[in-house]
Amino acid sequence: MTKLYLLIVFVVTGVACSNAYAQPNTGEFINASVGFGLSAPYDESELTGSGFYAQAEYVWAPYSWFGVRPYAGVIIASGSLDEDGWKSHIESNAFLLGAKVRLVAPIPYVAPFIESGVGLSAGTFETFTPYTDLKKDGVLLHIPVTLGLALGRRHNIEVKFTYYYHEAVDQFAGAAAVGFSFPINED
């Protein structure tokens, strides 16, 4: 655990000291995010799953307050719960692909943002609760929604909560994540 902690500290320090930008600048960027993945059903069940999340985005930002972000990522999250003698289970293991737009309040040092769009999830999904019994493999439509903050003098660190709503299996997958943006063409 100590080695993992030191690795995270070195990576965050290295990125914080480099020329990296979130979106409140115009231009083209690559954004990489990693975080704690989760999945939960839409119904009244107390069930949640946990796991891993990672995503990469190509960012085209024609304005400091607006950007288009095609993305590819992965979510691996599952969980079980024994609720009143009923064994519930949720699972989201998927590759994510899609595009979203970001609206930013380009405030110095702390720039709040919201994102939404449309995408596809390819993988395995299961929602088994007292209220829902759905299992699907294959490609499903999802709606991504993200709320976050771009932090720092250059807005080079992102902290965000991102969710992918899967109507076909009555569940959402998401993450609490940290992201870093690197400029493609630095002039």
What region, left, alpha or beta, does residue 66 occupy, with left being phi > 0 and alpha being psi -120 to 50 degrees? beta
What are residue 132's phi and psi, to 5 degrees? -140, 140
The stretch 39-43 carries a mean pLDDT of 93
Contact 29/183 with Cβ under 8 angstroms? yes
Q: Which domains does the chain have, with CATH numbers?
A: 2-183 (2.40.160.20)
Report d(CA 31, CA 94) in Å as an integer. Answer: 20
Highest mean pLDDT among 45-49, 58-62, 76-80: 76-80
pLDDT of the residue at 155: 83
Q: Is the pLDDT of residue 21 over 50?
A: no
Q: Tokens standing for 1?
A: 């655990």
Q: Which amino acid is at 69?
A: R
Residue the block writes with tokens 């590759």: 95
Kindly report the pTM of this predicted structure. 0.82
What are residue 144's phi and psi, to 5 degrees? -85, 140
* Digit-coded pLDDT (tens) for 79-137: 999 877 889 999 999 999 999 999 999 888 999 999 999 999 999 999 998 888 999 99
Of 69 and 46, the one with more pLDDT = 69
Q: What is the largest CA-CA distance in the chain?
A: 62
Mean pLDDT of the chain: 87
* Digit-coded pLDDT (tens) for 45-55: 889 999 999 99
Contact 97/71 with Cβ under 8 angstroms? yes
pLDDT of the residue at 83: 73
pLDDT of the residue at 4: 56
| DSSP state letter for 109 | E
